[in-house]
């Protein structure tokens, strides 16, 4: 549910900044109302300084992490019909595909050869693939390659549960036993059922997404949490998303990375049908949202910048707005690039970007 709020004047903005500064200094939590009002603060630099303060309290070393991994989109067959997605094909479409072991194996080997440590295996809601397909694939991957398997967002796990007619806890247990190491937080979009009904009606509800994550954390799997913003959501809904993740983190401690990134217009139903008048999310709004994420989500260790959607320069600046992780080299990326957006990244470029922003690049493998 949205709330109506008044734009606050310059004196109220100054007072809010002082309150938030004092709370951060004293280790106190920022409330929902304060978080919403932070979006009214016009002084972006001061917001960045507040987020930077939180970042340095949590990460006193002058380091920014990154990972070398590869997105492998094992199938593009999907029944969810998300309006922002240019990647999927309906079952029966001649352009639909499901990768076989040989192709996946070659991609993993290439990743290892490039110094990669992890694969991110994600795909559509494919009604043909039951739990046995995943168990077989995961077991084969783990017995043939020394690679971390970061795979299957909550909506894919729910699809497997439905297609295989077994419970979600059983799906998670069986996938974990087959070699699943951690879960990507994709598909969260904005955790508001109003928003999800508009942009991704075939996907999970907010509570289903959170329930899958809670169960995965309970079974010892770590995960990331994403927030794709800049479409039909309000700033109050962004704050609610942050608070839902914060509350789950209080209960489980299972999130290790919070990843705010922007919806990118291009080739999708959402930008042509729903948002003809809406401009692309600006770098200003992106940086403001990253900063407020760091201020609000005080219990998830890492905030990840998004060079994939923002480009290198804005991603560098975000390192002074609360982000302390540069994300992945992403040897292969299909979903965002299907919208027409593509930035070329190399390891040399990524490390240089982190260094010239004033930090030591540290490769992580989680």
What is the pattern of x (binds ligand SF4, CB under 6 A) and - over residues 135-174? --------------------x-------------------
125, 95 Cβ separation under 8 angstroms: no
* Alpha helices (runs of H) in the chain, residue ranges in sequence order: 10-25, 32-38, 44-58, 101-113, 131-144, 154-164, 168-178, 193-199, 206-218, 235-252, 269, 283-296, 307-310, 312-318, 347-356
326, 66 Cβ separation under 8 angstroms: yes
What is the pattern of x (binds ligand SF4, CB under 6 A) and - over residues 176-205? ------------------------x--x--
Give strand pairing partners of 77: 89
Q: What is the DSSP string of 3-69?
A: ---PPP-HHHHHHHHHHHHHHHHTTPPPPHHHHHHHTT---HHHHHHHHHHHHHHH--SSEEEEE-E
Residues 201-240 that bind ligand SF4 (CB under 6 A): 203
Helix (H) or strand (E) holding 121: strand 118-122
Size of the site for ligand SF4 (CB under 6 A): 12
Q: What is the DSSP string of 191-220?
A: S-HHHHHHH-TTS--HHHHHHHHHHHHHTT
| Dist. CA 48–CA 170, nearest whole Å | 43
Q: Which of 24, 78, 120, 259 binds ligand SF4 (CB under 6 A)?
A: 78
Q: Which of 80, 120, 191, 245 binds ligand SF4 (CB under 6 A)?
A: 80
Under the criterion CB under 6 A, does residue 82 sit at the interface with ligand SF4? yes
Q: Which stretch binds ligand SF4 (CB under 6 A): 14-22, 33-41, 82-90, 259-267?
A: 82-90
Pick between residue 47 and residue 175 the one whose CB is nearest to ligand SF4. 175
Q: Which of 41, 85, 149, 228 binds ligand SF4 (CB under 6 A)?
A: 85
CB of 90 to ligand SF4, least distance (A): 10
Neighbour tally for 280: CB within 10 Å: 14
Q: Which stretch binds ligand SF4 (CB under 6 A): 77-85, 175-183, 235-243, 272-280?
A: 77-85
Pick between residue 85 and residue 244 the one whose CB is nearest to ligand SF4. 85
103, 219 Cβ separation under 8 angstroms: no
Backbone angles phi, psi at 347, to 5 degrees: -60, -40
CB of 106 to ligand SF4, least distance (A): 22
Q: Which of 66, 88, 134, 359 binds ligand SF4 (CB under 6 A)?
A: 88
Under the criterion CB under 6 A, does residue 124 sit at the interface with ligand SF4? yes
Pick between residue 155 and residue 310 the one whose CB is nearest to ligand SF4. 155
Binding positions for ligand SF4, rule: CB under 6 A: 78, 80-82, 85, 87-88, 124-125, 155, 200, 203
């Amino acid at each position: 549910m949205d709330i109506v709020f008044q734009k606050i004047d310059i004196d109220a903005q100054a007072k809010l900044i002082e309150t938030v500064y004092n709370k951060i200094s004293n280790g106190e939590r920022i409330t929902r109302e304060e978080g919403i009002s932070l979006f009214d603060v016009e002084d972006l630099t001061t917001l960045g300084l507040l987020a930077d303060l939180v970042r340095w309290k949590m990460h006193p070393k002058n380091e920014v992490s990154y990972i070398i991994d590869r997105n492998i989109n094992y199938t593009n067959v999907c029944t969810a019909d998300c309006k922002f997605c240019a990647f999927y094909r309906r079952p029966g479409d001649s352009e639909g595909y499901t990768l076989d072991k040989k192709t996946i194996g070659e991609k993993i080997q290439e990743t290892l050869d490039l110094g990669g440590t992890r694969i991110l295996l994600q795909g559509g809601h494919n009604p043909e693939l039951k739990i046995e397909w995943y168990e077989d694939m995961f077991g084969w991957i783990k017995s043939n390659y020394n690679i971390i398997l970061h795979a299957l967002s909550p909506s894919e796990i729910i699809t497997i549960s439905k297609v295989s007619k077994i419970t979600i806890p059983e799906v998670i247990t069986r996938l974990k036993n087959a070699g699943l190491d951690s879960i990507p937080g994709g598909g969260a979009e904005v955790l508001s059922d109003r928003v999800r009904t508009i942009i991704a009606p075939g996907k999970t509800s907010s509570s289903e997404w959170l329930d899958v994550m809670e169960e995965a954390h309970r079974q010892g799997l770590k995960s990331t949490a994403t927030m794709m913003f800049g479409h039909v959501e309000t700033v109050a809904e962004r704050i609610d998303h942050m608070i839902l993740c914060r509350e789950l983190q209080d209960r489980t401690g299972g999130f290790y990375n919070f990843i705010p990134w922007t919806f990118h217009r291009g080739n999708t139903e959402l930008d042509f049908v729903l948002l003809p008048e809406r401009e692309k999310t600006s770098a200003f709004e992106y940086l403001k949202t990253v900063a407020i994420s760091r201020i609000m989500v005080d219990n998830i260790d890492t905030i990840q910048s998004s060079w994939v959607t923002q480009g290198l320069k804005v991603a560098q600046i975000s390192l002074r707005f609360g982000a302390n992780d540069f994300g992945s080299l992403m040897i292969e990326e299909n979903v965002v690039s299907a919208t027409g957006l593509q930035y070329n990244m190399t390891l040399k470029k990524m490390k240089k970007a982190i260094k010239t922003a004033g930090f030591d690049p540290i490769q992580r493998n989680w």
